[in-house]
A = this chain, B = another copy of it.
Amino acid sequence: MSGTPIVLASNSPRRREILTQGGYEFTVDAADVDENLGIIDPAKLVEALSLKKAMAVADKYPDKTVIGADTVVAIDGDILGKPIDESDAQNMLRELSGRTHQVVTGVTVVLPTVDGGRGHETFHEITDVTFYELSDEEIDTYVSTGEPLDKAGAYGIQGRGALLVERISGDYLNVVGLPLARLSRILKK
């Protein structure tokens, strides 16, 4: 793909795979940022975090496009991050069982502008995910794979977690961690 070189401000291997799937070449440079912003609205939270992540490295790359992103799982007004241990993962999966939750990803794209300055665009994308009713045995089996432990909401739809999902409504890659199709439409500008 042509255009300005891209820097992905995220260490997530899943986001790297998604950008690669889209045919993009890019480098990775992610700064640690404090994720406790005290924002309780999921969409506002992930937008603010994506902006913070992008801005944390943007100054180092004045001529490049920088992409920041953050993903959370939301249900009943609660935000589920990554579980702290297996018992926490089991509790999250019990909460998601048999119901529909939202996966919300915020994305910020920092772009050089035609006048030599910089602009940025921030958006969020929401996908509804409906889980099958899960038995305790299914939850235990899944948690024992270790897959849930580093994932928001304690599941990975691109892995064994696909077995838990009855249907989604929205963008699939948004659930994995980056809404590629919508992002590509911004990068094209």
Q: Point out residues on A near B: beta carbons under 8 Å.
A: 21-23, 132, 145, 157-160, 162-173, 180-181, 184-185
Q: Is B159 a contact partner of A21 (Cβ separation < 8 A)?
A: yes
Q: Which chain B residues border A21 with CB–CB below 8 Å?
A: 158-160, 162
Question: What distance in Å separates the Cβ of A92 from its nearest Cβ neighbour in chain B?
Answer: 19
Q: Give Cα A164 to B173, complex, Å.
A: 12
Closest to A164 in B: B181
Question: What distance in Å separates the Cβ of A14 from its nearest Cβ neighbour in chain B?
Answer: 14
Q: Is B169 a contact partner of A169 (Cβ separation < 8 A)?
A: yes
Closest to A168 in B: B172
A172-B172, A181-B132 known; A22 vs B160 contact (CB < 8 Å): yes
Closest to A157 in B: B172
Q: Choose from B168, B170, B173 the contact partner of A162 (Cβ within 8 Å).
A: B173
Q: Is A180 a contact partner of B166 (Cβ separation < 8 A)?
A: no
Question: What distance in Å separates the Cβ of A175 from its nearest Cβ neighbour in chain B?
Answer: 8
Q: Which chain B residues border A172 with CB–CB below 8 Å?
A: 157, 162, 165, 168, 172
Q: Is A180 a contact partner of B162 (Cβ separation < 8 A)?
A: yes
Q: Give Cα A162 to B169, complex, Å.
A: 15
Q: Is B181 a contact partner of A171 (Cβ separation < 8 A)?
A: no
Q: Is A167 a contact partner of B171 (Cβ separation < 8 A)?
A: yes
Q: Give Cα A169 to B128, complex, Å.
A: 9
Q: Which chain B residues border A163 with CB–CB below 8 Å?
A: 22, 180-181, 184
A180-B162, A181-B162 known; A169 vs B171 contact (CB < 8 Å): no
Q: Give Cα A186 to B1, complex, Å.
A: 43
